[in-house]
């Protein structure tokens, strides 16, 4: 039995905000942003679009791809949705605070009435956590065959747009993969191994402080702005470089692979400097990492599935290719997957 990625999809808002656009309202410029982060632009959702809307579009794209691959042109996305056993959605920016889960909203709009649904909160590592959760839940019950794993974020709603150190980093988007349990040998196809880790001592490094039970809004509060992301940049940088190198080493050890056998490393798209530093420590050339943060910036839990879909639709993934994902984020969390395409 193998659990394989059958199809991919993504949703990117049409509004593109370049560094030059930001420079019109902030004391910054394109050269500074690109040299410090590798980011050139980000995409911003309009006011009527929520996290579930982007997630739904990415899910539909993945199901449509699966239908095309099957050659069953008469089959609809609604039919495909009925084959799903679960929907797992990683996000830090859900439609609603606390409940209902954004995954349940997607389940309803997609018409996936046979699927259970839940959100995962693991920051930018949310997709990696979600992928391993789905693999375990598919493997545990023989009758479960298919899962949608989605990363979706509307980070632009939770940014202080006057803070030039943080607002330049983030963008909106969603990515999805369709997982399917098959009779193939697990060493030849599918998810080979996963590392999941957490370090709660760094919880303050990336935090949306207001609005939860620790700092709840009270009756009579004059709420003038939503909770915003607070970031200890140096703390996140140090953690990220360390976690990327350690995750790569642990994934290779767990799967008995060498780095030369890995066709692509798909990292969380946070900052080019982080990945360059991690690569230098391990002697891995930067071109081994697939990067698209120049166009999309940091889309948190959506960044890895967006990159997977871009590679997949671009014809850059071939059957049997070994792919490594590596993520790190709020929590603090970290992890990665080894996937045989």
Active site residue 51: no
Alpha-carbon gap, residue 248 to 265, rounded angstroms: 9
**Catalytic residue list contains 298:** yes
Q: Are 147 and 88 in contact (CB under 8 A)?
A: yes
What residue has token string 């200890």? 232
- Please tell me which residue in 43, 104, 271, 298 is annotated as part of the active site: 298
The catalytically annotated residue of 124, 167, 271, 312 is 124
Annotated catalytic residue 184 = no
**Residues identified as active-site:** 124, 268, 298
């Amino acid at each position: 039995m193998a659990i394989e990625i059958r199809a991919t999809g993504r949703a990117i808002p049409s509004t593109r905000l370049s560094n030059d656009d930001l420079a019109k309202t902030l004391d910054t410029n394109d050269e500074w942003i690109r040299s410090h982060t590798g980011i050139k632009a980000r995409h911003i959702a309009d006011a009527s679009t929520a996290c579930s809307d982007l997630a739904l579009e990415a899910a539909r794209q993945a199901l449509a791809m699966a239908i095309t691959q099957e050659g069953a042109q008469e089959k609809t996305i609604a039919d495909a949705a009925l084959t799903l056993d679960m929907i797992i959605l990683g996000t830090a920016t859900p439609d609603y605070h606390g409940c209902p889960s954004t995954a349940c909203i997607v389940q309803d709009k997609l018409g996936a009435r046979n699927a259970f649904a839940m959100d995962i909160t693991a920051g930018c590592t949310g997709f990696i956590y979600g992928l391993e959760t789905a693999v375990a839940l598919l493997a545990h019950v023989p009758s479960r065959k298919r899962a949608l794993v989605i990363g979706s974020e509307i980070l632009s709603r939770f940014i202080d747009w006057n803070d030039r150190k943080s607002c330049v980093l983030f963008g909106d988007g969603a990515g999805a993969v369709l997982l399917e349990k098959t009779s193939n040998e697990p060493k030849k196809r599918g998810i080979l191994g996963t590392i999941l880790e957490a370090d709660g001592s760094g919880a303050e490094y990336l935090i949306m402080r207001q609005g939860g039970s620790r700092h709840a809004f009270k009756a009579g509060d004059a709420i003038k702005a939503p909770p915003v992301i607070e970031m200890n940049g140096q703390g996140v940088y140090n953690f990220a470089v360390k976690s990327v190198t350690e995750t790569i080493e642990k994934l290779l050890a767990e799967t008995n692979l060498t780095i030369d056998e890995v066709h692509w490393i798909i990292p969380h798209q946070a900052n080019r400097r982080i990945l360059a530093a991690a690569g230098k420590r391990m002697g891995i050339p930067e071109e081994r990492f697939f990067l698209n943060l120049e166009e999309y910036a940091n889309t948190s839990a959506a960044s890895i599935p967006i990159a997977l879909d871009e590679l997949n639709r671009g014809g850059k993934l071939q059957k049997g290719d070994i792919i490594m994902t590596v993520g790190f984020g709020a929590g603090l969390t970290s992890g990665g997957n080894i996937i045989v395409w």
